[in-house]
Amino acid sequence: MSITSTQQALTRHASNPVLDTPDIPWDCMSVFNAGVCKWQDGYAMLFRTDSGAKEAPDCYQTRVGLARSADGVNWTVDKEPVFNMAKMREWLKAEYDERMDEDELARIYDPRITVIEDMAYLCFALDTKHGIRGGIARSENLRDWELLHISLPENRNMVMFPERVNGKLVRLDRPFPLYLRGGRESFDIWISDSEDGKYWGNHKLLLRAEEVSFGNAKIGPGAPPIKTEKGWLTTFHAVLSHPDKDLGTWATNRTWHKEYVAGLMLLDLKNPSKVIGISEQPLLASEAPYETEGFRGSVIFPGGFIAEENGMVKMYYGAADTVVALAEGKLEDLLSLIKPV
């Protein structure tokens, strides 16, 4: 079911979905929410898979896998996941030490990748028994990751800028404030900076959920920003809650009533904590069957945003929490969607 209409700056790729469960060398029911970067002579993607059968989905058996591509459309998946349960627990042991009981850590998911001076930075969400945390790691080969930072709970959807700004690393993130937001799921996008990627500070509110006219609930950063002459162009997701509608989910004992759409904003080049403008309409909302139907229908979750030398931009997104899709458009058309705030 499509509820929100989309602006026409992006075209869905004819090969969509570009990554689907038959492409994955391990058992899974879905492959989605991917981070994508240019890597060596081609492209690399870190993606999430959830397990279980359609009739008995198990979204907590989550793995993160790696795929490589020469053209950004056809992907080959590495045989082994980068993170499965065992590897995640081993990797995070130092962080949690002896206090980690059997099920303290649930999963690592929703990866985003930023390349800064030939080093890949991974931002991820981490579900723990004591809250959701955002993490940052770095790697020279995309398989062996050095953990740099894990935020306090409740935080998620971190993405890093592709270069230092005023000498500092910069990230966007999305905490979950509840008390003074009246218990509503109305969460905003924040910005912070760091010298070394380990210690983060200067947290500032960047975009308020209520500034996004095409959402009525939380928003969150999408993919790492693209540097343009006009500013940092960056995607975000916005949620529209439709309490009266069931948008469809495989989980049989639940209804799903949240539509996720992609939005676009432009941040000041020298002072990225200043929003220049945002798109008035969603950049992309669910229309294609692989977006409207799946584990959770009508979810567009952008995680990759890549500028090509020919003026085109690729946006990779998780569709319906089930597959990875690609849409393309001209950078100048995307910039023309931005209206001053």
- Distance CA(185)–CA(216), nearest Å, equals 9
| Contact window for ligand BMA (CB under 6 A) among 93-101, 206-214, 295-303, 308-316 | 295-303
Smallest gap from Cβ 198 to ligand BMA, in A, equals: 25
For residue 93, give the 3-state DSSP assignment. Answer: helix
Q: Which of 296, 298, 313, 324 binds ligand BMA (CB under 6 A)?
A: 296
Sign for the CA dihedral angle at 64, 70, 71, 73 comes to negative
Smallest gap from Cβ 125 to ligand BMA, in A, equals: 7
β-strand pairing of 131-139 with 189-194: unpaired
Q: 100-119 mask for ligand BMA (x: CB under 6 A)?
A: ----------x---------
Q: Which of 260, 305, 316, 317 binds ligand BMA (CB under 6 A)?
A: 260
- How far CA 154 is from CA of 128, 131, 187, 260, in Å, comes to 10, 6, 11, 20
Smallest gap from Cβ 73 to ligand BMA, in A, equals: 22
Asked whether position 318 contacts ligand BMA by CB under 6 A, the answer is yes
Cross-strand partners of 201: 193
C-beta closer to ligand BMA: residue 43 or 256? 256
111 within 8 A of 64, measured Cβ to Cβ: yes
What's the token pair of residue 59?
């979204």
21: phi then psi, degrees, rounded to nearest 5: -55, -35
Q: Which of residues 27-56 bind ligand BMA (CB under 6 A)?
A: 33
C-beta closer to ligand BMA: residue 165 or 299? 299
- How many C-alpha atoms does 265 have within 13 Å on its Cβ side? 28
Asked whether position 301 contacts ligand BMA by CB under 6 A, the answer is yes
Smallest gap from Cβ 33 to ligand BMA, in A, equals: 5
C-beta closer to ligand BMA: residue 63 or 296? 296
What's the token pair of residue 13?
């790729």
Smallest gap from Cβ 81 to ligand BMA, in A, equals: 17
E strands of 117-257, at which residues?
119-128, 131-139, 146-150, 155-160, 169-175, 189-194, 201-207, 219-221, 226-228, 231-241
Of 322, 285, 185, the closest CA to residue 241 belongs to: 185
| Contact window for ligand BMA (CB under 6 A) among 17-25, 224-232, 280-288, 294-302 | 294-302
| In the block, residue with structure tokens 């931009």 | 313
Q: 191-230 mask for ligand BMA (x: CB under 6 A)?
A: ----------------------------------------
Smallest gap from Cβ 174 to ligand BMA, in A, equals: 10
- How many C-alpha atoms does 226 have within 13 Å on its Cβ side? 29
C-beta closer to ligand BMA: residue 24 or 132? 132
Sign for the CA dihedral angle at 96, 101, 104, 109 comes to positive
What's the token pair of residue 306?
């890549």
Asked whether position 124 contacts ligand BMA by CB under 6 A, the answer is no
C-beta closer to ligand BMA: residue 150 or 266? 150
Asked whether position 259 contacts ligand BMA by CB under 6 A, the answer is no
| In the block, residue with structure tokens 């639940």 | 254
| Contact window for ligand BMA (CB under 6 A) among 12-20, 222-230, 293-301, 326-334 | 293-301
87: phi then psi, degrees, rounded to nearest 5: -65, -40
Q: How many residues bind ligand BMA (CB under 6 A)?
A: 8
Asked whether position 321 contacts ligand BMA by CB under 6 A, the answer is yes
**Residue numbers at the binding site for ligand BMA (CB under 6 A):** 33, 110, 260, 296, 299, 301, 318, 321
